[in-house]
Structures are given as C-alpha cells and as structure tokens.
Structure 1
C-alpha cells in the first residue's frame, strides 16, 4: 500500500466511524472504559496530534497540546474535519520525509500507515458497539497484520514461547506470517511454514485477534491450549 491508499482508507473508515454517532452512549467492547463518544474524541485527538507532527508544526511531542473536543452533538462533524485535514496532509508527504515517531521507523511513512490502521480498528470498534460487526477491508487488514508483528511486539520472548512459533494464515486471499523467537528477539517471516500454533481466518479476523477484538475460539486454531496461550501472551495489553 502507498500513501494514496492509506489516505483513501483513512477517509473511508473515518466516514464510516462517524456513522456510529447514532448512539454515543453505546459501550465499546475493545476499549471497555469508553463509550462511542469517548472513542470518537480519542480518535479525533489522535488525528490532530499526528497531523501536527506530520506537517512539521510540532517537532517535540511534549509540545503538542490537545485540541478541545466539542459537545456530543458536534462530534461526528468534528471527527470528519480532523480526518480530512489528516488525510490531505499525509497524502502529499514523501514517506521518507524524516519525522518524529515513537517507533524505530522515524518518517512520514510510519504516520501514513499508522493513521489508516488506527482508524480502521477504531472504526470497527465504533460500528461493533452499535451492532455492526463489519470486517476491516482485506488489503488494509493484511497490511495491519504486518505492521503489528513488526512494530507492536515489544520485550524479549518468554521462556515458554514455543520454538516453532505462531503461524497466521489468511483464508480470504494472499497472506501468511510466521512469528518466531530467535536469539532473544522476534523474527517475522511470510513463508508457508508449520508453527506450534496455527490460526486461520480472514485477514480482518486475524488482525482483530492481534488487537484483542476477536477471541481465538472465533477462528480456526491448530495447537494446544497451553501453546496458544504462550503465543498470544506478547500481544496482551497490561
């Protein structure tokens, strides 16, 4: 995916997310402490934060002051305005342009991808909260699995992480990933291989599993319960 794809995805899922404003009091299963109103406020603030980083107006994240969020009745429009500004800013930037990020990837390309992925998962959160269990678009979901495995697993593997690792297999198109513990760190491959645990499902469901929106029993799993717990442990939020 390129910067145009990411900007298009951001606009699409931002618009879909605003549709959840039909019930701002609905609870958000993926973020149990929030209702839809709080989820929209969070996402709108995230868009504004990274827009200022991306356009160069803020270079030190500690200087990035949160924008006041509006009343509930204005949330959908406020979110949409932030989505468009973010997408318009990101689609014109060279992905290699140096920018601060919290990641090892310190460029605009990280922000372009992250904003599309962040919005996709929170769009799913918002729609699911109001009774719409709709998949993340397949190509974006596959890209999100790759982003997650390369950038969101921190810390050293635990001693009980199985040597053969975790194999993820998308059933709705191309996409296989093998996560293994190697020399005290993590190794991600995209070859067809046999892991200690294999999980098969749509790219959307695999991504939602990694982000703890789907439980393993909602997908096709091969492996012992003990090995499954060990391979999923690195993804669990504290």
Structure 2
C-alpha cells in the first residue's frame, strides 16, 4: 500500500526548503546548466500548474504553457503549490486522471511523482545556494530509485524505443537492502529483482537517488566487478532523465 501521507509530508517539507533556499535568485544551478535559482523555481511552478491543469475535469488547456511572465516568482511558486496540494486534498489517490505513464492513470501517480520531483529540485536549489544538501529519507529515496529505474529507464526504453543498447552485461544497483538488476538489451532495458551482475554499484539510499538523477558524482558509489558498467549505467540514466 503506497504511503500517501508520507508522500504528502515529504512534498511539503521539500517545497519549503526549495522555496527558502538561498538569497540570490541569480545564483547558478550547477546541476541544471544555464539555469539560475529563479529559473529553477519558475520551472517547478510551471510543473505544478501543468499537473493542476491535467487533473481538471474539463481537461487540459489546448496550449501550454500560459504566459506567466508578468507574475513574480515567489507568488507564482506559492500559488502553484497551493493549487496542487488543494487538488491532492480534493481528490483521492485512486481518482482517474491522465498521466504520461500508461500503466497508472490515477492521481496517486502524480502525488508520488511530485514528491520525488520536488525532492530532486530541492537538492538543486540547495546546491545553487551553496548550502548542505538535505538527505532524502531512506523510504522515499528507495521509492525514488525504483521509480526512475522501472518507469523512466525500463518502461521508457520500451515505450519510446530510446536509449536501446546492444545486449550488455547486467549491472546491479544495490541500496538499503534492495537490489535492481539492470539488463540493457536491444529490445529495451529490463529490470530484474535478482540475477547475476558483472558490475555492482552500491550507495546509501539518498546518495543513490541523487546519483541516478545525476545530482551526485561517482564518489558516492562503492563499485565491485567490472568498472566499465558504471559508465554504461551513467549513460543510460542520462538518457532516461533528460
């Protein structure tokens, strides 16, 4: 059973950190080349409003995004978050709504996705501000690793016929007592729950989530087996998360 209360609590906490990180809106975001902290916050506001529009019973607007250039970033971010969380209060996680992930067409998909989206962008904001990055809690971090591997990487590679490789050796991603065996094939990336791997990469849950989303360097990993597998997995994750 998904922890909807936990997702909502994480979303609230990370939103507050993202909103208040740093005093200089022109600070560059090292993990989002070309963006300032102000650009990052406006991006998050647009993401929230896009989800609100998608959950509207009348259906999403024909054109997106709307022109929000006349609205200051702080009020825009607050307004978008208020609208998003109001929808999450109004609707149940089981309520049907369009999503880009065909197997899950429910509000619950967006509750989980927005909690994880906000956690990653909160880390971006802290990196821009030059403050220590607040670790993501183990449960949310492991759930986020599962999401990015199974949905963005594996499902995306089959659905969109992207970043398909030759049949390559399996890479085990290990964290917090869980393992994902990543098997790149010409038909797409397959994620198995067990198996044998040529390379194993291991990290604490928060570090692993940030590495998979390319917010942390290889120094957070412990690698066993063939080190070439690290570059293969890094390349796959770059394609999956861009």
- Report the TM-score, using the length of structure 1 for normalisation: 0.85
Going from structure 1 to structure 2, the CA distance change for 1:92 and 1:187 (only over 3 Å counts) comes to farther
Cα distance in structure 1, aligned partners of 2:85 and 2:178:
27
Tell me, yes or no, if the aligned pair for 1:58 and 1:64 is still in contact at 8 Å: no
Deviation at 1:65, TM superposition (A): 3.9
Q: Aligned residue for 1:216? A: 218
Any idea what the Cα deviations from partners look like across 1:85-141, whole Å, max 9, x if unmatched? 212312442333222222223222221111111111000000111122222222111
* Residue 11 of structure 1, CA deviation: 1.2
Q: Which residue of 2 aligns with 1:38?
A: 39
Structure 2: runs of 5 or more not aligned: none
Deviation at 1:77, TM superposition (A): 4.1
Question: Match of 1:169?
Answer: 174
Q: Structure 1 residue 152: deviation in Å?
A: 0.6
Aligned position for 1:207: 209
- Counterpart in the other structure of 1:51: 52
Quote how far apart the aligned CAs of 1:12 are. Answer: 1.1
Equivalenced residue count is 230
Identify the residue that residue 164 of structure 2 maps to in structure 1.
157
CA contact (8 A) 2:27 2:37 kept: yes
Assess if the C-alpha contact under 8 Å between 1:45 and 1:66 holds in 2.
Answer: no
1:85 equivalent to 2:83? Answer yes
In structure 2, the CA distance between the partners of 1:202 and 1:91, relative to structure 1 (3 Å rule), is farther
Partner of 2:119: 120
d(CA) in 2 for partners of 1:57 and 1:174? Answer: 44
Contact map agreement 1:4 1:91 (CA 8 A) in 2: no
Hey, what's the Cα distance between the residues in 1 that align with 2:234 and 2:186? Answer: 19
RMSD of aligned alpha carbons: 2.3
The answer on whether the counterparts of 2:52 and 2:84 sit within 8 Å (CA) in structure 1 is: yes
- Pick closer, same or farther for the CA change 1:161–1:76 going to 2, 3 Å: farther
The answer for the alignment partner of 1:142 in structure 2 is: 142
